[in-house]
Structure 1
Amino acid sequence: MVVKTELKNFIDVEEIQNHLENTKEPEPKKIEAIVQRSLDKNRLEPEEVATLLNASSYEAKELIFEGAKELKQRIYGNRIVLFAPLYIGNKCINDCVYCGFRSSNREVLRKTLSMNDLETEAKALVSRGHKRLILVYGEHPLYNADFIAATVRKVYSVKEGNGEIRRVNINAAPLEVDDYKKVKEAGIGTYQIFQETYHPETYKKMHPRGPKSDFLYRLYGLDRAMEAGIDDVGIGALFGLYDWKFEVMGLLYHTIHLEERFGVGPHTISFPRIEPAIGTPITEQPPYQVSDEDFKHLVAVIRLAVPYTGLILTAREPIEIRREVLKLGVSQIDAGSNIGVGAYSTEDKEAYRKSQFSLGDTRPLDVVIRELAEDGYVPSFCTACYRLGRTGEHFMEFAIPGFVKRFCQPNAILTFFEYLNDYASSETREAGLERIREEISSIDKPEIKETLLKYCERLENGERDLYF
């Protein structure tokens, strides 16, 4: 007989509310001291994060914004990692009131990709230059661990021209430990589970039916993943369901829990805002709508709160907001995204009826890459850390002292150069090569510069997948 351990809710609502209440109207000097602690690469404590969240004056907010920009540059440099979401199926047995996939929604068209469909979709993504995907699944018995593992293997098997998918992350329902092991064996990268809202009462209202209604089971979903040996996990909250300051604190408490139990926090944090979804009225007027100004504030605070964790900014956001928020510490974005099931490989006029929500940024990948280069960023498809074992605790050993920049910048350049050779339009290639020249000229370690130039020459001559 298996005895289940009673799970403790580590999201202390009263404590969070007290922190937020007791740190109102902080002085700029206090903000400055907290920002400096973050710049020294310390994960911030709850009271410190509450203080940053309560900053209201222009001067205090500017200290936070400038600190977030500087921290991102110190740890990650100016690279931006690119990926695309690939929706495998939208069947769901949950009835989350904010989700287009919810079981009671009769307006959504249900579809699950066959393995042939999946291969076609993967080829379409590879042919545009993608190297990194996140596979997304509704919560349904069909999408079990065996099915997820099979889809991952199928995606990895796809080759098209010089291209292939080198990193498959997962956004799916929480699993049991043995099931996570099956998925890990398929070679996944990060396993991502969003708690959606960390406020228990709100969670109960938003998840009236289905397995997802169990707050604690979901909250401990990534604990089980880490017990199974998946050392890269991603957390997130859906902003707009409850007070944004509370949700940021919830993300922090989740981070602290993982650190205390496993010695390593989340690999990524996501912070999507609610966007309109077909047949889902609540998305048209979210209960706690987050303004653009507050959105920028919360992203900068998350950046400072957990210096070593990647921040993911999704294509839910409109183009101009994406440009502004990128400066505040974001390290990953999706680009060239289409979230209709099966829509990458077809001109599906009803793709929106198979989508979970609507996108704010639908620019093609090539356009996003060109604009990133013109704005001084290095687009990256790098997956070297994962294949060299620099994950989980090992990744933190590199990230916390700031060594990520030393490894990731040259690898970003190499994957960017691959893209320019194989997929870029003439305009993007021109802008990209100029960016690469500037980046290489700024490298101050002769041995890295020399090796990088040799690798670029080898890529020019037809080799692929070279990395430090």
Structure 2
Amino acid sequence: MYNVPADFINEQKVWDALENNQHPDPSRIREILARATEMKGLTLDEVAVLTCIQEPEMLEELYNTANRVKDTIYGKRLVLFAPLYISNLCANECLYCAFRASNKGINRHALSQEHIAREVEVLIKQGHKRILLVAGESYPKEGLQYVLDSVKTIYSVKSEHGEIRRVNVNVAPLSLDEFKQLKSTNIGTYQIFQETYHRETYAKVHKGGKKKDYNWRVWALHRAMEAGIDDVGIGVLFGLFDYRFEILAMIQHINELEDKFGVGPHTISVPRMEPATNSDMASNPPYPVSDADFKKIVAILRLAVPYTGIIMSTRETAKMRRETFAMGVSQISAGSKTNPGGYEEEDDISGQFSLGDHRSLDEVIRDVAAMGYIPSFCTACYRLGRTGQDFMDLAKPGDIKLHCGPNAVSSFKEYLQNFASPETVEVGNQLIQQTIDSMSGVARQRAEKLVKRVEAGRDDVYC
């Protein structure tokens, strides 16, 4: 099954949808936006219509609708995490990536388990609770065991006020049996990006290594979910091909997962091409995405797959990140480094790509809180089994907010007590009180109870 062409990515259907829905009139757009507020997702044709919006007035209506849907589902909550690059060894030739095998301009590292532990200690001392483990698509002689051991190492590191409570993983596509081994390490989400769904472009930009195989990669999430990993993350690298095509093809992929497994991806990432060491393509994207179109992408995805988390990394500037919170982004990285060993020591040339937001975790949190968003370090759903279909069964009727709101507040309070600067503590405590005051019923009772436990010295409280 997994070595055959992925016919669920039907390029002709994508082009037909775009061709048939050009120049939509405002009444058609408003009809689709109204349907989007029902939070049941959108069809391929409806998404195609939204990608064609150009008029400032209609764009504003798109953004406002995305804000309503995001606020209804997630409230004023942003989940934070940090990527941890354990290796930049790679056997692939991806023209847009600094890690490609032929690039001699970066320092190559595969961190030892002891070095990984030291990196984790730095992140814990900053206040992080979630890590996304990232590795180039080649490992030391241990092979996959290197990744499995690295996950165990991350979980093993403890300090006075914390530990990493959830490890998500972004590594090369695995076989079914290998995915079962990965699941046994108690990971959270398995994340992989197709980079581009356009087959001709995919072949042009992937010149060597296993990653040349489009089908092996696009079937990876099927294998992961069949292996029992029910939270998976999806994404493309915007800038490689027409963003309109990429959105619609990704919707086809999402629909396929929902049809086969009853639930789609837990997260969607929206990386936009940024400069990378010795990559002309990264500095000059074939299909550059403007800031206006990038915001449109985020808003459309929020309406098309309303219950799926949207992740924005530190590739983007602080300004762009701020502007997209209201349009659909629900998870962000902070204080990121994209080179192995980067948290312990600086190495500006060996990262995977250039960063747009260089602020520390504390600075990001203070900024987010000043905007009225609760920074959340919650990992309760993973640890209580609220994943996959179980999560969606709570999310769609709105019941998940009875857990997410209180847990976000208590995890933020824990950060303020143990890690924050005085300036962040002041802003954060005011926001926590305002947030609790805005709650009612069960949610408020739970939030007040959890915060009191944290104030009494308890860490890691959740419901």
**TM-score using structure 1 length:** 0.97
For the pair 1:355 / 2:351, whether they are aligned, the reply is yes
The CA deviation at 1:149 is 1.3
Match of 1:392 in 2: 388
Note the alpha carbon deviations across 1:253-279, whole angstroms, 9 max, x for none. Answer: 110010011110000001111000011
1:396 maps to a residue whose letter is: M
Shift of 1:319: 1.2
Counterpart residue identity of residue 458, structure 1 = R
| Residue 179 of structure 2 corresponds to residue 180 of structure 1 | yes
> 1:152 maps to what in 2?
151
How do 1:417-456 and structure 2 match up within 5 A?
417-445=413-441, 447-456=442-451
Partner of 1:467: 462
Aligned to 1:67: 65
Contact 1:127–1:161 (8 Å) recurs in 2 = no
Shift in Å, 1:244: 0.7
Query: Compared with structure 1, are the counterparts of its residues 7 and 144 closer, same or farther at alpha carbon in structure 2 (3 Å cutoff)?
Result: farther
Q: Is residue 272–residue 315 contact of structure 2 (8 Å, CA) maintained in 1?
A: yes
Partner Cα distance (2:237, 2:112) in 1: 29
The answer to whether the Cα contact below 8 Å between 1:146 and 1:182 also exists between their aligned partners in 2 is no
Q: Cα–Cα, structure 1 residues 413 and 297, in superposed 2: closer, same or farther, change >3 Å?
A: same
Give the CA deviation at 1:141. 4.4
**Deviation per residue, 1:73-121 (Å, 9 max, x gap):** 0001010000000000000000000000001111011001100100000
Secondary structure class of the residue paired with 1:312: strand
Deviations 1:233-268 (A, max 9, x none): 000000000001111112111100100111100000
Q: Whole-Å Cα distance in 2 between the matches of residues 198 and 4 of structure 1?
A: 16
Checking the alignment, whether the CA contact within 8 Å between 1:170 and 1:192 is kept in structure 2 is yes
Deviations 1:367-415 (A, max 9, x none): 1101111101000000001111110011111112222222101100000
The corresponding residue for 2:137 is 139
Helix, strand or coil: the match of 2:310? strand
User: Contact 1:413–1:436 at 8 Å: present in 2 too?
Assistant: yes
Partner of 1:218: 217
- Does the residue aligned with 2:99 lie in a helix, a strand or coil? coil
* Contact 2:139–2:146 (CA under 8 A) maintained in structure 1: no
Deviation at 1:52, TM superposition (A): 0.5
Q: 2:31 aligns with which of 33, 40, 58?
A: 33
Find the counterpart in structure 1 of residue 107 from structure 2.
Answer: 109
Kindly report which structure 2 residues correspond to 1:227-242, keeping only aligned pairs within 5 A, or say none: 227-242=226-241
* Structure 2 segments unaligned to the other structure (5+ residues): none
What's the counterpart of residue 268 of structure 1?
A: 267
Q: Distance in 2 between matches of 1:403 and 1:396?
A: 10
CA-atom RMSD in angstroms:
1.2
* 8 A contact 2:90–2:100 mirrored in 1: yes
Deviation at 1:59, TM superposition (A): 2.1
Offset, 1:4: 6.8
Letter in 2 for 1:329: G
Figure out how many residues of one structure are paired with residues of the other and give that number: 462
Aligned-pair CA distance for 1:5 = 6.1
Relative to structure 2, which stretch is displaced further, 164-173 or 60-69? 60-69
2:97 maps to a residue whose letter is C
2:313 is matched with which residue?
314
Q: Matched residues, percent identical?
A: 49
Structure 1 residue 27, shift from structure 2 partner: 1.6
* Cα distance in 2 between the residues matched to 1:196 and 1:402: 32
Contact 2:24 2:49 in 1 (8 A): yes
Q: Distance in 1 between matches of 2:83 and 2:2?
A: 35
Q: Calculate the TM-score normalised by the size of structure 2.
A: 0.98
SS of corresponding position for 1:127: helix
Q: Distance in 2 between matches of 1:245 and 1:4?
A: 27
Give the corresponding residue for 1:377.
Answer: 373
* Preserved contact between residue 313 and residue 333 of structure 2 (Cα < 8 Å): yes
The residue number in structure 1 matching 2:336 is 337
